[in-house]
Chains A and B, each alone.
Chain A
Amino acid sequence: MAVTSSRLDQNPQVVERTKTLAFQQNRGRNILLTLGTGLICILALWFLTGLGSAKLSQALALFAIWGVATVSLNLINGTLGILSLGHHGFMLIGGYTTALLILSDDARQRILDSGRSAMTETTVGLSVSNLFSSIGLGALTGDGSLWLRFLVAIFLGGVVAAIAGLIVGIPSLRLRGDYLAIVTFGFGEIIRLSASTRIFAPLTNGALGFAGVPSEFGKSVWWTFGFLAFTLFIISKLKYSSYGRAMESIREDEIASEAMGINLAYHKVLGFVISAFFAGIAGGLWVSWLGNARLDNFLFTLTFFFLVAISAGGTGSITGVLVGTALVIFVRQYGDPLEEIYAISRWLEFIGIILIIAGAAFLLFRSFNRSGKRLPNWAIWLFTASLFILLLGSPVFPGINLGKIGLYVFLIPFVIMPFLPNVGDKTKGVGWVVYALLGAGILTLLIGGISPGAGWLTGTFRGFGMRGIALAILLIVIMIFRPSGIVGRHEFTWSWLFREKLDEPTEEERKQDAWLTNPELNRAGGAANLEGSSEEGI
């Protein structure tokens, strides 16, 4: 029987798999691909900024800034498995430190001149310029070297935030789960509220905050994406090192982790410190993007949006978190058409379209589930995308023109879908849901679209807060159909893209596995005998 084993040992694929052990597999190719993608990203950014749309550049920069924050929060929430709700506090510390250190001389003078400011001569003098002057680098205090001062300031902001992370990390050694989440939330709020108290007002300028923070860095796509790339590099390297594995083991099972020699205290605090450092960096970029540092830009809702991005994208997955962040930023920056004033008839059309799409989507999911086939990925993406486009785009469609007609044509396949023989058959028992949705949709569409002039249809309505509702609905849909987020727990990797599955047995291995586990095939004994042990079976 030892033949089976030796034959397997000679199988080159198996030998390769055991030798490389999935570490650094196809390393050269992956590095090249990553660099290539980076280059494409740079070209894409160059092209997109070249379009000259300030709104787009702002959205891209904001994506990178929030990306730094969500990826770092994901280190605690996803990798370490601790629900932390105090990220806005770390961001505040980093942001205020950066703002204070690079504030222009004019802004400093205004603070001193203002009667309401609590800042003193000493605290107003806290700047990278003065630091440089005092160590004999006075040449670097001009306008041309502001970027260097910004780098120093944001790094120091990260360090101060990391020290706060150390302090917050310590209670995490005694607490678990929900209790720890409450403590981190408390810390975040304490940081925010104490910043306006008399004790810290000389440093933070109290409720007034800092105006006139140089915004050329936070608004620059290159600076922000540079920091995002740096964050991604550090966090992903950490995640795939032995330390990252140790942190994941804490997430999986704290007791077992400790019983396998992992120092829980060290790894938790390490996670908190690194995460807080990058939160501080994100805070520095955030104040620069905003152009000012004010306490109401660091509310808990900031952390809440990060959590939404993490859950929607995929907890624990760096690539997933970026997808989630992009989604949140898109709704936030481009959701304003939803909150404008529209005629009620327009709203009705909008609702009708959504109902039709929902009915068709329900039908498709159902029929594919019933026939045992998974809904193909392209269909899921098509539905998500079309829902999204309609959600944001349909209210802006101009009145009666080609666009609208095109839209109606686009909807026809969805309407006739349930009557197609091979799709409609599979909906036994739930067909009425589909028909009700489609019927209601068509009716609403007709009322809204064909007779817009009559009676109560003439009014207007403003969907105040629709942006939040759209985000919430999106989150609900994602959570129902993909509870682990869009990307899920796993990362997007090159080996995933090329379907290099290390965990799939070859035909030979499958046979051997069956032979090992099936007593009918293997009466002599188990693996112990196969290994050539001298002992006989009992």
Chain B
Amino acid sequence: MAMLEVKNISKSFGGLKAMNDVSISVGQGEIVSVIGPNGAGKTTLFNLITGVYTPDTGDIKFEGSSIAGKKPNQIVDLGVARTFQNLRLFMNMTILENVLVSQHHKLKSNWLSALLRTPGYLAQEKAMREYAVEKLAFFGPRLQSFRLHQPVFVLSYANRRRTEMARAMATGAKLLLLDEPSAGMNPKETREITQIIRRMRDQGGYTILLVEHKMNLVGEISDRVVVLDYGQKIAEGSYQDVVNDPTVIEAYLGKKAEGKEETEVQKAAKMDGRTI
């Protein structure tokens, strides 16, 4: 059985159909990429899965139970965590605190025993700190040691992205939704994050659903690729199949007019050796 099953969900904002009858399933241990032009509904899909929006029709099942209509924090409790496209870190808190906040929902002590620092609470606090450092270690030594205690606002954009991924991992989720994990990173950092995402699956045991625009990253790590356009799923399959699909090429580059030469964009793309 698939870990995440999105069944025929639709969502409209007024007259705009942001999501129209989309079905996606993600199996345990898979890395699935969602691609599509800007405005295709990728982030809306993430918002629907994580409970920010409620789908108008259809159902979302995580490990067999329906999560549609649940609150975002309840969905995190079940084991789905996300990162944001335009970074939503707790800017005035340190890296360590950021990664600790996301473990708060697992805390068993109530507020009074936390306030009185009971031994049970202190043990959990210690475990939380160790877990936080363990998750930050996925990104190498750059978020360790002195960086742990730096407020997020002094970090570089790439380090902020990494912190946000570590924060999502620390929720204890089984499924991670990464919204453009490599946005704002240079080619070298993108290659590195590609490796890290794969290691998150192989060593961390996370199942990953990601939205990405950088095709080399998508091609490198995806087990499956889902293509959205205007809120509809237009293709699904392996990376090679999907990028050679005429509907996908049309969605990205437009239709070739009847009897006309290839467009400039398509020519340029071919010359570059890119598939799209």
Contact = CB atoms under 8 A, between A and B. Distances in A.
A177 to B, nearest CB: 17
Contacts of A143: none
Given A237-B116, A238-B111, A538 B220 contact: yes
Interface stretch (B11-19, B100-108, B260-268): B100-108
Contacts of B71: 258
Interface in A261-280: 261-264, 270
Contact of A23 (B91, B106, B129, B192): B129
The main secondary structure of chain A at its interface with chain B is helix
B230 interface: no
B175 to A, nearest CB: 13
A227 to B, nearest CB: 17
Contacts of A527: 139-142, 192, 196
Contacts of B195: 528, 533, 535
B79 to A, nearest CB: 10
A21 B139 contact: no
Given A259-B82, A261-B105, A517-B156, A18 B88 contact: no
Contacts of B156: 517
Contact of A249 (B93, B107, B191): B93
Contact of B104 (A262, A270, A526, A530): A262
A261 B171 contact: yes
Nearest to A239: B115
A8 B142 CA distance: 12
Interface in B26-75: 50, 52, 71-73
Nearest to B154: A503
Nearest to A22: B149
A248 interface: yes
Interface residues of B, number: 68
Contact of A238 (B76, B89, B115): B115
A255 interface: yes
Nearest to A528: B195
A504 B104 CA distance: 27
Contacts of A248: 90, 92-93, 97, 101
Contacts of B151: 503
Contacts of B109: 242
B76 A260 contact: yes
A245 B141 contact: no
A21 B91 CA distance: 19
Nearest to B133: A18
A245 B142 contact: no
B171 A8 contact: no
A525 interface: yes
A17 interface: yes
Interface string B190-214: 0110111011000000000000000
A241 B114 contact: yes
Interface in B90-140: 90-94, 96-97, 100-107, 109, 111, 114-117, 121, 124-126, 128-129, 132-133, 137, 139-140
Contact of A21 (B107, B129, B189): B129
Interface string A166-196: 0000000000000000000000000000000
Given A246-B104, A533-B199, A255 B52 contact: yes
Interface string A202-244: 0000000000000000000000000000000010011001110
B6 interface: no
A525 B92 contact: no
A249 B141 contact: no
B104 A242 contact: yes
B173 to A, nearest CB: 9
A255 B86 CA distance: 12
Contacts of B133: 18, 21
Contacts of B101: 245-246, 248-249, 257, 260, 262
Contacts of A18: 133, 144-145, 148
A263 B145 contact: no
A509 B142 contact: no
Nearest to A489: B92
A527 to B, nearest CB: 2
Interface in A1-28: 5, 8, 14, 17-18, 21-23
B25 interface: no
Interface string B134-169: 000101111011111111000010000000000110
B144 A258 contact: no
B199 A528 contact: yes
A505 B146 contact: yes
A252 interface: yes
A509 B189 contact: no
A38 interface: no
Contacts of B148: 17-18, 21-22, 502-503
A247 to B, nearest CB: 10
A260 B81 contact: yes
Interface string B225-268: 00000000000000000000000000000000000000000000
B223 interface: no
21 contacts: A8-B141, A17-B146, A18-B133, A241-B111, A241-B114, A242-B121, A245-B93, A248-B92, A249-B93, A252-B92, A259-B84, A261-B76, A262-B101, A264-B73, A270-B111, A489-B92, A503-B147, A506-B146, A516-B140, A517-B142, A535-B198
